[in-house]
């Protein structure tokens, strides 16, 4: 069990290491990224086994969502870091004459704290760590106590790869997380719920520490299926996503709104897809994941029980294995409690709406807390582009789910109750660095425009030049 004194000592040890300037060297950072990549690949089997024990994930799902995704993140940093870290050169402008050169340096914050969740314990710790390393920071990783087998693997992987004064892992429950948050770090990156995100910001505010928050969103993420959509395609993709990690994904479809004109056909397609993808007995399919804890299972079961009379598909689970069958609840009104909070479970509420009243539905979505993701299914690309360009949400897809997360070179992040800041690739590098502007002055031929006197004939001449230069 970590103590306040131990965590304070660890943070100070990393601060001393950072002050040596070793992390500023780009070649050294690249070597640390290569070491991290090699460690992930060397521990691939252990990672798969830990994810199976914690979340019931299959080897393919473990590689797709954690191992392979981390490798992609590191590879992007390896290819782009020299360019990202290069100082920018700017013309200072005639107002600054004769000092014509200004540089913008991308400097690391220093000692960073990364608080990672249980649902993707490797990707959301090591993937963020890759950005911290690329930025030239040291890092303390606070891993989740819920996915404790994954945390054990992470602890060994990190300790065997990096010295503790550079990268270290802290394990334990919420009380240990609070001890970490009480320390003064130079950068804080948290992934989790909005409720805890508020606590994180409060703690960071005491030290004026810059914060990145990746949150699930208070009201969950909507998928909207218009009547002109390819219903089988929409059902196939939504079912795949709801099965993934048993719905325990921050960008997952929390509820789907379906045009009532095609709702029955969509639900039939969902039923067919569930049978095709996971079989008639998902509770005994070894590929189907489980919920993280018995408490999470109980919350899921209690949620379903409140809507027992509207359970269309599923509605059963096994407490012993923490598995709960993918459950479709229909019909659900857009203002019911079930669609007013993040579910984080294999529950899919289906909200019918008249297709002609799509704008009213979008107004309802816009009035609530902004989601981390938005998904729309339609053949009307003009409408889809207008919606995606005007709604407020973290990111999303048209006629697809989740894959915007996998695109290289683009940011991932939320807004409002779904977070602040963005990362992945260069955006992650930016999140862990601050731009520092430096003007290089000259000692000869300096203009006296900024100096007194400001009145009389000299002042008049200065005003003419200032009006010429400052425009």
Angle 315-319-320 from CA coordinates, rounded to 5°? 140
Rg (CA), the chain: 26
Concerning whether 470 is annotated as a catalytic residue, the answer is: no
Decide: 367 and 349 in contact? Cβ < 8 Å. no
Q: Which residues on neighbouring strands pair with residue 191, listed in sequence order? A: 214
Token pair 């948290």 is found at 190
Q: Strand 88-91: give its sheet, edge to edge.
A: 88-91, 101-108, 433-440
CB atoms within 10 A of CB 409: 10
Concerning whether 250 is annotated as a catalytic residue, the answer is: yes
The pair of structure tokens assigned to 336 is 């019911």
Active-site residue identified among 96, 180, 250, 300: 250
Active-site residue identified among 214, 273, 342, 369: 214
CA-nearest of 31, 109, 54 to 421 is 109
Decide: 91 and 103 in contact? Cβ < 8 Å. no
CA-nearest of 306, 341, 358 to 327 is 306
Omega of the bond leading into 223 within 30 degrees of 0 (cis): no
Decide: 255 and 349 in contact? Cβ < 8 Å. yes
Active site residues: 214, 250
């Amino acid at each position: 069990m970590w103590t306040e004194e131990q965590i304070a000592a660890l943070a100070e040890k990393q601060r001393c290491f950072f002050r040596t300037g070793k992390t500023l060297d780009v070649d050294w950072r690249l070597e640390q990224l290569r070491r991290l990549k090699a460690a992930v690949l060397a521990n691939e089997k252990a990672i798969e086994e830990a994810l199976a024990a914690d979340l019931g994930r299959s080897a393919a799902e473990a590689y797709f969502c954690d191992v392979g995704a981390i490798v992609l993140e590191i590879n992007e940093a390896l290819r782009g870091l020299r360019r990202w870290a290069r100082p920018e050169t700017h013309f200072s402008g005639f107002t600054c004459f004769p000092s014509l050169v200004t540089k913008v340096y991308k400097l690391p914050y220093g000692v960073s704290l990364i608080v990672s969740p249980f649902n993707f314990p490797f990707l959301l710790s090591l993937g963020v760590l890759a950005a911290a390393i690329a930025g030239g920071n040291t890092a303390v990783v606070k891993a989740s106590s819920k996915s404790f087998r994954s945390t054990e693997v992470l602890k060994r992987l990190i300790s065997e790869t990096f010295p503790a004064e550079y990268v270290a892992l802290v394990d334990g429950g919420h009380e240990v997380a609070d001890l970490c948050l009480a320390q003064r770090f130079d950068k804080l990156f948290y992934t989790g719920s909005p409720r805890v995100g508020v606590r994180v910001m409060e703690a960071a505010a005491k030290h004026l520490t810059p914060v990145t928050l990746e949150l699930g969103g208070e009201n969950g993420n909507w998928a909207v299926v218009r009547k002109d959509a390819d219903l089988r395609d929409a059902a196939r993709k939504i079912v795949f996503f709801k099965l993934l990690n048993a719905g325990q994904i921050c960008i997952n479809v929390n509820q789907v709104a379906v045009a009532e004109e095609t709702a029955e056909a969509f639900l039939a397609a969902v039923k067919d897809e569930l049978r095709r993808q996971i079989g008639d007995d998902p509770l005994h399919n070894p590929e189907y994941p489980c919920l993280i804890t018995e408490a999470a299972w109980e919350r899921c079961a209690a949620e379903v029980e409140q809507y027992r009379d509207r359970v269309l598909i599923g509605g059963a689970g096994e407490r012993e294995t923490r598995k709960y069958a993918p459950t479709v609840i229909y019909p659900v009104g857009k203002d019911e409690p079930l669609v007013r909070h993040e579910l984080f479970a294999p529950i899919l509420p289906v909200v019918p709406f008249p297709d002609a009243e799509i704008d009213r539905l979008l107004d309802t979505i816009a009035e609530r807390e902004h989601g981390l993701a938005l998904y729309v299914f339609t053949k009307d690309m003009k409408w889809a582009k207008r919606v995606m360009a005007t709604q407020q949400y973290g990111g999303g897809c048209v006629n697809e789910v989740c894959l915007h997360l996998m695109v290289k070179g683009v940011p991932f992040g939320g807004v409002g109750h779904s977070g602040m800041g963005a990362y992945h690739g260069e955006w992650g590098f930016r999140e862990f660095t601050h731009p520092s502007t430096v003007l290089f002055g000259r000692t000869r031929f300096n203009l006296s425009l900024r100096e007194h006197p400001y009145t009389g004939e000299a002042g008049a001449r200065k005003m003419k030049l200032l009006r010429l230069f400052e425009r």
